[in-house]
Amino acid sequence: MTAPRVALVDSGGTNIGSVTYALERLGATARLTADRGDILAADRVVLPGVGAAAAGMRRLREAGLVETLHEVQVPLLGVCLGMQLLLERSEEDGGVETLGLVPGEVVAIPATPQARVPHMGWNALEDLADDPLLRDVEAGERAYFVHSYAAPVGPWTLATTRHGGAWSAVVRHGLRWGAQFHPERSAALGATLLRNFLGEVGR
């Protein structure tokens, strides 16, 4: 079987190297690119990201990638900030219009004595939907999160996690998926999710 060609969108995130290595360990050919042709010719597209929504969208606009991402017709996975950018809007930085590829708005996680913000660390996935991205992932398995903003649970939520309330951990709209956690840092669960993205989704 030919290794899937993965376009790793050059969004300027500091997690790009670790995402690349995680994909290559699973047999994919991962190419970091901001080239429209490369992205549209790929078998899979990954939008990574770490940092703030405004800076992430500015990077995508300056590279001319907003329109390109709307043209993608193969499975696309947003990771961490990349997932948040897939939605329509984020409260971060006073309000940012994002890509609008998945319905919904990202909001600030309210800090409480029991739930510190940023949310950093291992958290269980719950309420798993039947979806090829989550094949062989069991409820209660833990993933690694680092975020201060999150998507509320809604019609597009495939899995939730709890941190001072329930939040979307995985979302999907059509061929667009998002993972709020870092699969490249989430041990066996993360490897399973990425393996599914490379082979199970879109069939």
- Residues recognised as catalytic: 80, 182, 184
Distance CA 122, CA 60 (A): 29
Instruction: Find, among 27, 29, 67, 64, the residue nearest to 46 by Cα.
Output: 29
Structure tokens at 97: 């219009």
Instruction: Give helix then strand counts, H and E, for the chain.
Output: 6, 13
If one counts every other C-beta atom within 10 angstroms of the C-beta of residue 39, the result is: 23
